[in-house]
Amino acid sequence: MLPTVLRSRVLLADDHVVVREGLKAVLGQEGFEVVGEASDGRAAVKACENLRPEVAILDIGMPLLNGIDAARDILRLSPGTKVILLTMYNQECYVLAGLRAGVSGYVLKSGAASNLVQAIDAVLAGEIYMSPGVSRAVVQAYLSNARIPADPLSPREREVLQLIAEGMNMKEIGGLLGISERTAETHRARIMGKLNIRELAGLVRYAIAHHLIEVQSASPSADLAGGHLPSSPAAAPASPLPFPGRVPMTNGGASPAEGILR
């Protein structure tokens, strides 16, 4: 039986319908209202701007705009929205990039059915939530403001690269981004110069290697009985956190308290 009082308004963004349906089932049972859905990053940004949900749950690997860059735009256009990344990737670079983009939660799809509700409650309480499958070292690096190699590409260049890798030509890219075809070509030239790549195939390989686009070997599992999401094909998870995923925030969003890592 569903709770009589809805807990908060949530937007879901994932390019797989079966995943969104599984999430809706899990969240609906817990009393959350799913007010919108999106199948790509650009649609997620627009929906958040229009609907202003309390929480946006984003996959990282989405068409047109990846989840990390979409999160950055959402937080700019709808600052009252908390963003949770839901992904199969547990590598340090993606976790840190998400945190530095301003996301409040990072949940691995392999444990989403059991961790997602806890993550939503945590971020609404002003905390940062990390799945138990994210290593302690990643969180320590974030807390200590450890430096990571800077992305050679600007956010706009990442957008253009992703769209090139998805098969769009310069005219189509310009129309989608609201820029001229010549400007799109300039971005492409800068991308190739920065990455020292001379051909289109090299750009596609780079985009795949950095998960700006995904090569799907099979569709997600449809086994969502009981609210279970498709299992992750990623490598074995890193060592679990010594705490249940939460990093309290102080002063309404200042740096997380370090004491929880003791």
- For 162-175, the pLDDT digits (tens) are 999 989 999 999 99
Model confidence band, residue 146 (pLDDT cutoffs 50, 70, 90) = low
Q: Is the per-residue pLDDT at 249 higher than 90?
A: no
- Residue ranges of domains in the chain: 9-146+232-261, 155-209
What's this model's pTM, rounded to 2 decimal places? 0.73
State the average pLDDT over residues 33-48.
Answer: 96
Q: What pLDDT is stored for residue 213 in this prediction?
A: 79
| CATH architecture assignment, domain 155-209 | Orthogonal Bundle (1.10)
SS3 53: coil
Q: Which residues of 147-162 are buried (b: 16+ CB within 10 A; e: fewer)?
A: eeeeeebeeebbbbbb
Q: What pLDDT is stored for residue 79 in this prediction?
A: 94
Alpha-carbon separation of residue 246 from 105, 126, 160 (angstroms): 9, 10, 35
SS3 98: helix
State the average pLDDT over residues 136-160.
Answer: 73
CATH 3.40.190.10, applies to 9-146+232-261: no
Contacts (Cβ under 8 Å, ≥6 apart) of 167: none
Q: What pLDDT is stored for residue 81 in this prediction?
A: 97
